[in-house]
Structures are given as structure tokens and as C-alpha cells.
A = this chain, B = another copy of it.
């Protein structure tokens, strides 16, 4: 049996609140098991949470992250679904490439800004 986690373990590991984790569940992004009424998280759940948080850092909405998780799920789908998923993947790829470009531009701008600052500092 794979490892199990409590809600506060995950909250600590990822530096978020338990409220946040429960909220993700209420938005059906997570589906922990229950022992009585207490939530038990599997390794899969943990991976899903990781995906959500990574998505967040990339500016994805929860709805988008939810899609990503579905897309990540190797469960059975029909041809039409799979083709839609491939389209989604392509969309995401474009978005990521745009972000990559944005990041590179920003990094250059930060370089330039830093230089200007340092020059200004030296001239004081």
C-alpha cells in the first residue's frame, strides 16, 4: 500500500492552509478517501495537489488545472475525448511557449534595470 497523508501534512508540505485543500475538493479537483469523516490523501492526491499548485504559479485558473488533471488521468476515454485532449495539449503548449518568451523578455528587462540601478548607485 502506498503512503497516506493527513490534510495538515499536505498543508504543511506545500505551505498552504487546510481550508485551501478542502476548497480544492469542493471544486472537485481532489477526491480524498474518508476514514469516518476524516479525509485521507493518497500519493495520487498529493501529485494532483502538486499539479494544481504548479498551475497556480503559472497563472492557471483552478478550472484550467482541473482540465490538466483530467488530461493527466490515464483513464479510459473514447476517440472524440482523446482528440479534444490533444487539442487542449496543443493549446497549453502554445500558452507555455508564450510564457517562456515572456519570461525571457522579462529577464532581459530585469538585467537592464539592475544595471541602471547599479550605475546609479555608483554615481552617488
Residue ranges of A at the interface with B (Cβ–Cβ < 8 Å): 54, 56-60, 71-72, 74, 77, 79, 82-83, 85-86, 89, 92-93, 96, 98-100, 102-103, 105-107, 109-110, 113-114, 116-118, 120-121, 124
Contacts and interface: CB of A to CB of B under 8 A. Distances in A.
A62 B117 CA distance: 23
Q: How many copies does the complex hold?
A: 2
B89 A117 contact: yes
Contacts of A71: 113
Contact of A120 (B59, B77, B99, B100): B77
Contacts of A98: 57
Contacts of A116: 74
